[in-house]
Amino acid sequence: MSDHVDLLAIAAHRDDVELTCGGTLAKAVRVGHRVGIVDLTQGESATRGDAATRAAEAVRAAAVLGVHLRLNAEFPDAHVQNDEASREKLVELIRRTKPRLVILPYPVGRHPDHRVASELGRDACFLAGLAKYGKAAEPHRPFKVVYALAYREDPVKPSFVVDISDTFEAKMQAIRCYASQFDGAKAAGEIFPTGQDLYELIRVQSAHYGSLIRRPYGEPFFMHETIVVDDVLELGVQSF
Ligand SMILES: [Zn+2]
């Protein structure tokens, strides 16, 4: 039971989920959901910091967010592949954690690992539900997959934005745990440099997404399915 979660965020590198959906994870924890993270790589190819440093940073960041579980698939950094061995390993982790909802990276990205992680993650979510696929573990298919859309410049409108105003400080505190990566940095992951400090860039971007739902801070997501509404009068976000 201890490894079961309601929400699982899968991403290529330690620090990816903090950057793209850290506020959402912290918020899910606060309302009582069990939340887990699977980092696909250990960060050994990063320009800054080494794998051991990043491992310690990831543990501290997970504690700040309050997540219950943080696993590592130990795929080679900068060489993430959507191949049979990788799918089998990830299927194993999905069956072990049994999430209802999975957050994946957006399918487009600067870093090839981000793009591959997105496709690999989706394929593994499907395959995990096939009774005869992989090693003898109980099949489990997540109910839903959504994609973290933060910082993307593609002309894709978010399907929804999570209000992270109450957990924005926790998100920033978690990001600051990665001092080896970010102290003095002007860019990271999918965040392009503007000359401003990285932490300020993240605040500005989060405020922009918040403005889309008329709140101080937000994190945007994309999904292929359509959102259901039971009572149209409950629709939020004013038009004028
Ligand atoms: Zn990354």
Q: How far is the CA of 185 from the centre of ligand 1 (A)?
A: 15
Q: In whole angstroms, what is the distance from residue 64 CA to residue 147 CA?
A: 23
Q: How far is the CA of 77 from the centre of ligand 1 (A)?
A: 10
Q: How far is the CA of 24 from the centre of ligand 1 (A)?
A: 18
Q: In whole angstroms, what is the distance from residue 199 CA to residue 12 CA?
A: 21
Q: How far is the CA of 131 from the centre of ligand 1 (A)?
A: 32
Task: Look over the chain and give the mean of its residue pLDDT values, rounded to a whole number.
Answer: 95
Q: How far is the CA of 20 from the centre of ligand 1 (A)?
A: 10
10-14, 64-68, 193-197, 199-203: least confident range? 193-197
Residue 133 in tokens = 């696929």
Q: In whole angstroms, what is the distance from residue 170 CA to residue 75 CA?
A: 28
Residue 11 in tokens = 């991403």
Strands (E), 68-156: 69-75, 101-105, 144-148
Q: How far is the CA of 240 from the centre of ligand 1 (A)?
A: 37
Is residue 64 within 8 A of residue 34, CB to CB? The reply is: no
Q: How far is the CA of 15 from the centre of ligand 1 (A)?
A: 7
Strands (E), the chain: 7-11, 35-41, 69-75, 101-105, 144-148, 160-163, 218-222
Q: How far is the CA of 238 from the centre of ligand 1 (A)?
A: 34
Q: How far is the CA of 4 from the centre of ligand 1 (A)?
A: 25
User: What per-residue confidence (pLDDT) applies to 136?
Assistant: 72
Q: How far is the CA of 136 from the centre of ligand 1 (A)?
A: 31
Chain segment 59-99, per-residue pLDDT in tens: 999 999 999 999 999 999 999 999 999 999 999 999 999 99
Type of residue found at 50 = D
**What whole-number percentage of the chain has pLDDT above 90?**
85
Q: How far is the CA of 117 from the centre of ligand 1 (A)?
A: 10
Q: What confidence tier does 135 reach under pLDDT thresholds 50, 70, 90?
A: confident
- Evaluate if residue 239 carries a pLDDT over 90: yes
Chain segment 152-168, per-residue pLDDT in tens: 999 899 999 999 999 99
Is residue 125 within 8 A of residue 224, CB to CB? The reply is: no
Q: At what angle do helices 168-176 and 16-30 cross, to 10 degrees?
A: 140
Q: How far is the CA of 239 from the centre of ligand 1 (A)?
A: 35
Report the DSSP pairing between strands 218-222 and 160-163.
Answer: antiparallel
Q: In whole angstroms, what is the distance from residue 203 CA to residue 182 CA?
A: 14
Q: What confidence tier does 47 reach under pLDDT thresholds 50, 70, 90?
A: confident
Q: In whole angstroms, what is the distance from residue 35 CA to residue 174 CA?
A: 15
Q: How far is the CA of 13 from the centre of ligand 1 (A)?
A: 5
Q: How far is the CA of 233 from the centre of ligand 1 (A)?
A: 40
pLDDT (mean) for 3-32:
97
User: Residues with Cβ < 8 Å from 124, sequence gap 6 or more?
Assistant: 87, 90, 91, 94
User: What per-residue confidence (pLDDT) applies to 44?
Assistant: 82
pLDDT (mean) for 204-224:
98
Handedness of CA 196, 197, 198, 199 (dihedral sign): negative
User: Residues with Cβ < 8 Å from 148, sequence gap 6 or more?
Assistant: 9, 11, 17, 20, 21, 103, 104, 105, 106, 219, 220, 221
User: What per-residue confidence (pLDDT) applies to 45?
Assistant: 80
User: What per-residue confidence (pLDDT) applies to 172?
Assistant: 98
Q: How far is the CA of 138 from the centre of ligand 1 (A)?
A: 30
Handedness of CA 152, 39, 114, 85 (dihedral sign): negative
**What whole-number percentage of the chain has pLDDT above 70?**
100
Q: How far is the CA of 37 from the centre of ligand 1 (A)?
A: 14
Q: In whole angstroms, what is the distance from residue 171 CA to residue 194 CA?
A: 21
pLDDT (mean) for 129-145:
93
Q: What confidence tier does 1 reach under pLDDT thresholds 50, 70, 90?
A: low
